[in-house]
């Protein structure tokens, strides 16, 4: 089974509008972390936002917020006031804490295009 | 503080050759992970090193290997290259002071093309 599922291969949003990118995850661990990364065409993965499994409040970082619904195992990224520079691939990731190390699981990504 | 650096940025090799990629983590970061990214398979975890020890390994053949030095710099090696090894190889480092909240920071990647 996939650990991270991103069901939107591509999304379009009008500049200055808000957009939600979906992410669901699968884990039986109680302690885990959820992350979102942005990957522009240059290839570098840029960290955006983090949510811990025990965090009661949704994480926010500037225009990014994470809509965390633990019971539904979803961690959707909300980008407010979209900008042209937000056009990129977005990846949801999860880190469990196996005894043997530190491993991240990534989704297949969502390609976001911001339209002027 | 300097970010994660990877060298070289681009590499072209032919089938059967071997290649070594290098990664320098953020200063103070002791955990280094490697990922392979391809259009077909997405991001796949290769392995993770911490304090010069491989702690975790993904599902890749033995042709893929790595190591970490005492200064936390890491190298990965791919021997007997195949066409399917063409990919973007990403390195990420973590501080791992508080594993439950720790973030991986990625380098710009090495784009390997196998002809």
Quote the pLDDT of residue A101: 64
Q: Shortest CB distance from A101 goes to which of B48, B88, B111? A: B48
Would you call B60 an interface residue with chain A, using a CB distance cutoff of 8 Å?
A: no
Q: What pLDDT score does A100 carry?
A: 54
Any CB–CB contact under 8 A between B43 and chain A? yes
Kindly give, in sequence order, each residue whose CB lies less than 8 Å from that of residue A110, ignoring residues fewer than 6 positions away. A6, A8, A9, A10, A11, A21, A22, A89, A90
CB pairs A-B closer than 8 Å: 70
Q: What percent of chain B has pLDDT over 70?
A: 95
Would the CB atoms of A100 and B106 count as touching at under 8 Å? no
Per-residue pLDDT, A98: 60
- A-chain residues within 8 Å CB-CB of B94? 102
Please return the burial class of A73, using the count of CB atoms within 10 Å of its CB with bins 0-12, 13-18 and 19+. Answer: middle
Number of other residues whose CB lies within 10 A of the CB of residue A61: 12
Residue B25 has pLDDT above 70, yes or no: yes
Report the pLDDT value the prediction gives residue A32, as an integer from 0 to 100.
Answer: 87
> Is residue B90 less than 8 Å (CB to CB) from chain A?
yes
DSSP 3-state of A9: coil
What's the pLDDT tens digit per position in B36-61? 999 888 899 999 999 899 988 889 99
pLDDT of residue B2: 78
**Each residue's pLDDT tens digit in chain A (116 positions)?**
689 999 999 999 999 999 999 999 999 888 888 999 999 998 889 999 999 888 889 999 999 999 999 999 999 999 999 999 999 999 999 988 765 566 788 999 999 999 99
With 0-12 / 13-18 / 19 or more C-beta atoms within 10 angstroms meaning exposed / middle / buried, residue A41 is exposed
Closest chain B residue to the Cα of A91, Cα to Cα: B43
Per-residue pLDDT, B95: 83
Q: Are A23 and A75 in contact (CB under 8 A)?
A: yes
Q: Is B84 helix (H, G, I), strand (E, B) or coil?
A: helix
């Amino acid at each position: 089974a996939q650990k991270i599922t991103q069901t939107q291969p591509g999304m379009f949003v009008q500049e200055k509008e808000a957009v939600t990118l979906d992410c669901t995850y699968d884990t039986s661990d109680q302690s885990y972390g959820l992350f979102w990364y942005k990957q522009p065409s240059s290839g570098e993965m840029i960290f955006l936002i983090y949510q811990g499994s025990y965090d009661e409040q949704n994480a926010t970082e500037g225009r990014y917020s994470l809509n965390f619904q633990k019971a539904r195992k979803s961690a959707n990224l909300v980008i407010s006031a979209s900008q042209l520079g937000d056009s990129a691939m977005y990846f949801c990731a999860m880190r469990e804490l196996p005894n043997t190390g530190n491993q991240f699981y990534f989704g297949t990504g969502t390609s976001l295009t911001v339209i002027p | 503080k300097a970010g994660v650096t990877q060298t070289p940025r681009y590499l072209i090799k032919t089938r059967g050759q071997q290649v070594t990629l290098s990664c320098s983590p953020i200063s103070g970061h002791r955990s280094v992970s490697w990922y392979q990214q391809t259009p077909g398979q997405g991001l796949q975890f290769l392995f993770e090193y911490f304090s010069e020890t491989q702690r975790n390994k993904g599902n890749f053949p033995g042709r893929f290997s790595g190591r970490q030095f005492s200064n936390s710099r890491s190298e990965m090696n791919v021997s007997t290259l195949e066409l399917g090894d063409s990919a973007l190889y990403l390195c990420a480092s973590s501080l791992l002071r508080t594993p439950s909240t720790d973030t991986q920071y990625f380098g710009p990647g090495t784009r390997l093309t196998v002809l």
